[in-house]
Chain A
Amino acid sequence: MRKTCLDMVYELAKTDPRVVFIGSDLSPGLLDEMKQEFPDRHYMEGVMEQHIIGMAAGMAMDGHMPYVNTIATFITRRCYEQVAMDLCLHHLPVRLIANGGGVVYAPLGPTHLAVEDFAIMRALPNMTVTAVSDAEEMKRLMRATLDWPHPIYIRLGKGGDPVVSDERHGFAIGKGIVLKPSEASDPILLISCGVMTARALEAAEALEREGHAVEVVHIHTIKPLDEALVLERAGRARAVFVIEEHTVIGGLGSAVIDLMCEKGGARLPPMRKLGLRDAFAKLYGSQDDILADNGLSPDGIAASIRETLDSFPA
């Protein structure tokens, strides 16, 4: 997903002179071809995230469309005021490409785990927050960025994530996708984003084998949320589970439950957030290890859903 995303920056730069790449201190040789072809539109500026965001803002004020890339924690926490003021207050089309969203950098510990990125980015006016499911969907997102006039946060997965998206569903920023529809009148609804959608689909299949009707809605754009789709699908659901690689505070789960509470009508379905507990990660290992520790493996998701359904009054 990361390689695809950065390759797409080069592809976009070939057709659109507004496109500029700005990295902090990334891999040697990153986007070298772009640097050769467009030497004045490729910048590697070092470990200075606050400055890089401001510099991108200056370029965008002048008509450019900078794609800024560094590790997710450092492009969110480290330069939050610059993102808020320089990008969002000025409402500029800068794209933040965040390496290792969620717990991808599990072996590196809490300094490198971007587990509240949706929450803090979502809280900013004018910001768009995205987390696509796989490399193929990343291509569609990147093409769409050229026509989107707002700042965008683009969360990257680990790479090599299974492709679960399908181009036949089309792609528009702000529009959710029903990846696995259900004909049932009151299915269990799973809403997920990013690489958790693959896991949600696996959990859905397990539950279906047990006789449950399950629908899966993929939300690649956490903000602006596709309210119409969520209200329509959640409104008829037997129960709603929001699955994300993010703290249970302030992410997609919070966005969905806020929406349902405000606009979901008088009779709300049972809803539950399945995310990372409100704690710094207590182990290293792999992304899957930390997800499993938080009950977010496909098996863990299915188990939490069964447990919740069993707890409902008959």
Chain B
Amino acid sequence: MVHSLIEASKTTSLDERSLYLRRLIVRGLVGGNRGHVGSSMSLVEILRVLFDDVLRYRPEQPDWLERDRFILSKGHGCLGLYALLADKGFFDVAELDKFCHADGILGGHPERSKIPGVEASTGALGHGLPIGVGLALSARMQKRDSRVFVVMGDGEINEGSVWEAAMCAGKHRLTNLTAIIDYNKIQSAGPTREIQDLEPLADKWTSFGFAAVEVNGHDLSALSEVYGRLPLSNERPTAIICHTVKGKGIPFAEGQPKWHHHAKFKPEQLAEIHAALGGRA
């Protein structure tokens, strides 16, 4: 079952909207002449389905009290989030051209004080889930039905603070909290199974009190189906383990640790990337 999800994630084809969102990411990469390529590309479908069909928010009123809270805890994947926020109108798409610029709002990691739609400043890893637990408890205290979604990287969950927060979320039976793992199997130094093996990953989340499910993180209908069933349990927080491909959509970057982060693109590299994604945004 899991093996087939992993294999399917590698062959899932991308539709025009998924390619367009990746072109927006590349616009940011070109704008900043740097960025976490692989870490952003693996996230796109996870974020796309959330922002298209699941999250409640108002781009014209980012601090709307009743909104769902979304935290990109793997802050280095921020270009994926920026593509969605720009696409949804939280800020002008042209901001992507100023990625990491002194006069831009979009940094190499997202900041709450600068970017409409960013709930938490992340980049230091292992911070999103604890904050998410606080937001979920807060919503419960205020008797609001806001839900909280936290997306983490697979390397990120090496951090002990993630598991502290997981234990606490389980204790409080935070059914309004969903933890999503972008399990692309490659962390900065290499394959997760070599650097710090996470398996059995679903069992870990289950044992910490979550209802866990695994899904092909590039399969739009599978993601929609899982998100549509939230909360998976009426007594437990949810963990969605998304099997993804690092660098998805750029064939020569897929599954390659050296494309975790890249800077100073050569013109021929950019030409190849644009060709793979069907042009420029």
Contact = CB atoms under 8 A, between A and B. Distances in A.
A89 interface: yes
A62 B142 contact: yes
A56 interface: yes
B161 interface: yes
A54 B135 contact: no
A61 B165 contact: no
A206 B119 CA distance: 56
Most buried by B among A51, A53, A64: A51
B110 to A, nearest CB: 12
A55 B168 contact: yes
Contacts of A292: none
Nearest to A64: B138
B121 A85 contact: yes
B164 A85 contact: no
Q: Taking chain B's interface residues, is the majority helix, strand, or loop, or is none over half, making it mixed?
A: helix
A58 B138 contact: yes
Interface in B122-136: 124, 126-127, 129-136
Most buried by A among B111, B119, B133, B136: B133
Contact of B164 (A20, A50, A58, A66): A50
B164 A59 contact: no
Interface string A41-70: 101011010111111111111111010000
A41 B141 contact: yes
Contacts of A40: 140-141
Contact of A48 (B112, B140, B168): B168
A51 B138 contact: no
A15 B33 CA distance: 53
For the side of the interface on B, what is the size category? Answer: 20 to 34
Nearest to A20: B141
Contact of B121 (A41, A58, A89): A89
Interface residues of A, number: 30
A86 interface: yes
Given A48-B164, A50-B164, A90-B112, A55 B130 contact: yes
Given A82-B127, A90-B112, A54 B160 contact: no
Given A55-B165, A82-B161, A85-B121, A50 B140 contact: no
Nearest to B148: A58
B141 A51 contact: no
A56 B134 contact: yes
Contacts of B136: 58
A231 to B, nearest CB: 32
Nearest to A57: B131
B192 to A, nearest CB: 22
Nearest to B161: A50
A37 interface: no
Contact of A54 (B119, B142, B161): B161
A32 interface: no
Nearest to A51: B164
B121 A51 contact: no
B139 A62 contact: yes
A81 interface: yes
Interface in B94-133: 111-113, 119-121, 124, 126-127, 129-133
Interface of A: 20, 40-41, 43, 45-46, 48, 50-64, 66, 81-82, 85-86, 89-91
18 contacts: A48-B164, A48-B167, A51-B130, A54-B130, A54-B133, A57-B130, A58-B132, A59-B135, A61-B119, A62-B135, A62-B138, A63-B138, A63-B142, A85-B127, A86-B130, A89-B111, A90-B120, A91-B113
Kindly list the 10 A-B residue pairs having the minimum CB-CB distance in the complex, ordered from nearest: A58-B134, A54-B130, A51-B164, A62-B138, A48-B164, A55-B134, A50-B161, A58-B135, A58-B131, A59-B134
Given A55-B168, A64-B138, A89-B111, 4 more contacts: A48-B164, A58-B130, A61-B134, A91-B113
